[in-house]
Amino acid sequence: MVIRNKFGQLKIQQMAFMLIAVTLFFVLVGMFVLVYKFSDIKNQANTLREQNAMLLATKIANSPEFSCGMALGSGKTNCVDADKIIALKNNIKKYEDFWGSNTNVVVKTIYPKEKEKECTFANYPDCNVINLLGKNISGTYSNFVSVCKKENENGIIYDKCELGRIIVSYENQF
């Protein structure tokens, strides 16, 4: 009798262990699937952010807040109006998240080469970098543009255009 009871207990124990093992197996498989799924979502989110920055870099120069329009020349593409951009920097609080969350836009004059000096409303035009949101964000995409502004030399007003880059930086959130 005692022996039979032990057999019974052993069988329940066996069953319990088996069930725990099966449960653990499913839990582990489930966790593996979830981790895989979530890493996929993260990668996708970062890829989309990257794509957005890339396309933004190629087209942002033509958006109304940046483009030269007919004010500097005759409607050039990939031409940015530095005078307008510095005015935009002065009102940048309104434009936070306008081009995407955690996305910054920097316009830099690269030729003629000079020591980098960030622009403010006070020191403009004696500067060559306009960092719109003032953030340093990791991932970047850039495009070459003409950076144009109105200049006055000996009473003659003319359009001064230099070679520059428009840099769109974004932050990987994960």
Partner 1 sequence: MKSKEKFAKKNFPRKLQTSHEGNLQGNYKKINYAKSSKDGVLEFSFSWLFAIIIGGAIIFLAIFAAVKIIGLGNTQSDVTTAREIGIILNPLESSFTTGTTTSFDVPTETRIYNACDDLDGNFGKEIISVSQKNLGKWSEPENPVGFSNKYIFSENPIEGKKFYIFSKPLEMPFKVADLIYLTSDSKDYCFEEMPESDLKNEIGALSSSNPKLQIENCSQNSIKVCFGSSSGVCNVAVSGFLDEAGYVEKNGEQMSYAGNALMIAAIFSEKEIYECQVKRIMKRISSLAIIYSEKSKLISKNGCGTNFGSELINFARTAGGITSSSQINSIMENAKVLEDTNQNLGECRLW
Interface residue list for partner 1 (CB under 8 A): 1, 4, 8, 11-12, 15-16, 19, 22-23, 26, 30, 33-34, 37, 40-41, 44, 48, 51-52, 55-56, 58-60, 62-65, 67, 69-71, 75, 77, 81, 83-84, 86-88, 90-91, 94-95, 97-99, 124, 150-152, 155, 157-159
Q: Are 133 and 76 in contact (CB under 8 A)?
A: no
Give the pair of three-digit tokens for residue 174. Answer: 């994960």
Smallest distance, partner 1 to C-beta of residue 167, A = 16
Give the pair of three-digit tokens for residue 33. Answer: 């699937």
- Closest to partner 1 by CB, 77 vs 136, is 77
In whole angstroms, what is the distance from residue 40 CA to residue 46 CA? 10
Smallest distance, partner 1 to C-beta of residue 99, A = 6
Smallest distance, partner 1 to C-beta of residue 116, A = 21
CA of residue 41 relative to chain centroid, distance: 17
Going across the sheet that includes 129-131, the strands are 79-81, 139-153, 156-170, 103-111, 129-131
Smallest distance, partner 1 to C-beta of residue 11, A = 6
- Closest to partner 1 by CB, 114 vs 151, is 151
Smallest distance, partner 1 to C-beta of residue 104, A = 15
- Closest to partner 1 by CB, 12 vs 112, is 12
Give the pair of three-digit tokens for residue 106. Answer: 């920097």
In whole angstroms, what is the distance from residue 137 CA to residue 164 CA? 19
For residues 91, 121, 60, 54, the Cα torsion angle rounded to the nearest 10 degrees is -100
